[in-house]
Amino acid sequence: MKRLMKYLSDYKKESVLAPLFKLLEAFFELLVPLVMANIIDRGIAQKDMGYIGRMGLCLLTLAVVGLVSSITAQYFAAKAAVGFSTKLRQALFDHIQGLDFTNIDKAGTSTMITRMTSDINQVQSGVNMVLRLFLRSPIIVFGAMIMAFTIDVKSALIFVVAIPLLALVVFGIMMWTMPLYKKVQAGLDKVLGITRENLTGVRVIRAFHQEEVEEKRFQDSTRALADSQIFVGKISAVMNPVTYLVVNGAIIALIYTGAIQVNVGNLSQGEVVAIINYMSQILVELVKLANLIITITKALACADRVASVFAFENQTPEGIESGAAGNSTGDAAPFLQFDHVAFAYAGAGANTLHGIDFSVRKGETVGIIGGTGSGKSSLVNLIPGFYPVTEGAIRLEGRDISGMSQEELRQRVGVVPQKAVLFKGTIRSNLQWGKPDATEEEMWQAIDTAQAREVVEGKENGLDAEIAQNGKNLSGGQRQRLTIARALVRRPQILILDDSASALDYATDAKLRSALRNLEGGATTFIVSQRASSIRHADKIIVLDDGEMAGIGTHDELLENCEVYKEIYYSQYPEERLKAAKASGADRAAGTEKKGGVSNGGR
Helices 49-98 and 12-38: crossing angle, nearest 10°? 160
Report pLDDT digits (tens) over 48-100: 788 888 888 988 998 899 899 999 999 999 999 999 999 999 999 999 888 87
Query: For the stretch 275-300, what's the b/e string if a residue is b when 16 or more beta carbons lie within 10 angstroms of its beta carbon?
Result: bbbbbebbbebbbbbbbbbbbbbbbb
Looking at residue 541, what is its pLDDT? 93
Report pLDDT digits (tens) over 172-231: 887 788 788 778 878 887 888 888 888 888 889 998 898 999 999 999 999 999 999 899
Can you tell me the distance from the alpha carbon of 96 to that of 92, in angstroms, rounded to the nearest whole number? 6
For residues 218 and 145, is the Cβ–Cβ distance under 8 A? no
Long-range contacts, 333-336 (Cβ 8 Å, 24+): 333/361, 333/398, 334/359, 334/360, 334/361, 334/395, 335/359, 335/360, 335/361, 335/362, 335/363, 335/364, 335/396, 335/397, 335/524, 336/360, 336/383, 336/394, 336/395, 336/396, 336/397, 336/494, 336/524
Report pLDDT digits (tens) over 294-343: 788 788 888 888 888 888 887 654 443 433 344 444 445 689 999 999 99
Looking at residue 322, what is its pLDDT? 37
For residues 73 and 132, is the Cβ–Cβ distance under 8 A? yes
Element containing residue 341 per DSSP (H, E): strand 336-343
Mean pLDDT of the chain: 83
pLDDT at residue 433 tops 50: yes
For residues 169 and 243, is the Cβ–Cβ distance under 8 A? yes
Average pLDDT rounded to a whole number, residues 154-177: 80
HEC secondary structure over 488-533: HHCCCCEEEEECCCCCCCHHHHHHHHHHHHCCCCCCEEEEECCCHH
* Beta-ladder partners of 342: 391
Report pLDDT digits (tens) over 581-594: 666 665 555 555 55
